Amino acid sequence: MKRTLAGYLVIVVAFAVSLFGQNAGADEHEWVTIFNGRDIEGWEQKGGEATYKVEDDCLVGTTKPRTPNTFLCPPKSYGDFELTFDVKCDEALNSGVQIRSISSADEIPAGLSEKDAKKAKKKADGKSLFGPQVEIAANGNAAGVWFEGIGGWLLDPKPEVTNKAYKKDDWNSYRVLAKGETIQVWVNGTKISDGKDTRTHFAKGRLGFQVHGVGQKTEPLSVRWKNIRIREVE
């Protein structure tokens, strides 16, 4: 009897270990690495003429004078998701990452205010990108969410929190969770933004890694990203 019970116990433990391993593997495979650290094949540049290259396993965007905001977009669109990345941005440069963003008139959702819809139709030329943008900046705006291309904050910046969390001269780890209307943003483990985007009604769209326009400035400024991962959520 003891041998029989011991045998059953071994089987149960083995099954549990196997099941745990399968579940752990499934969870692990939910995450997708967007940037492979080697190339940006299949990515699409929109907006201005800033330059992008791969250097030391990083995606590096560098300014160019007299050109508007520039965006580099992975090929896939996302709706509800969790996004993580590390970023290091020159202190004099403002950057950001677009989420759920669009570029064409047929992508404009219903529900925009008359004022926003008018601006969106003018912006929707297929050449640039507009929509919610998670801010990257050393001026206290980091992790706020801006309505790129239309104007105005969707989730106001919180400089009193951001200035303690954001590292001006070092790498910063971002986490973005977008589910339904709710957008949450963490910087280096500190939650900065947590609210509802009730203005854009953009439920799905592209990511865009931004190099902000710098007007007439000729000094090259850069922003670097690495460890870019995403998983879709329900």
Indicate whether 10 and 101 sit together in one domain.
no
CA distances from 61 to 89, 103, 223 (A): 10, 20, 5
Ramachandran class of 68: left when φ > 0, alpha when ψ lies in -120 to 50, beta otherwise: beta
Indicate whether 228 and 191 sit together in one domain.
yes
Indicate whether 161 and 106 sit together in one domain.
yes
Domain count, the chain: 2
pLDDT in tens, 176-223: 999 999 999 999 999 999 999 999 999 999 999 999 999 999 999 999
Instruction: Find the domain containing 23 and state its range.
Output: 1-30
CA distances from 152 to 30, 82, 140, 157, 173 (A): 34, 24, 16, 11, 25
Indicate whether 9 and 125 sit together in one domain.
no
Instruction: Give the DSSP H or E segment for 118.
Output: helix 114-123
* CATH of residue 122: 2.60.120.560
Q: What pTM was computed for the model?
A: 0.87
Indicate whether 4 and 56 sit together in one domain.
no
- Splitting the chain (234 residues) into consecutive groups of 10 residues, what average pLDDT does each group show? 46 40 47 96 97 98 97 97 98 97 94 94 91 97 97 98 96 98 98 97 97 97 98 94
Using DSSP's 3-state secondary structure scheme, residue 99 falls into strand
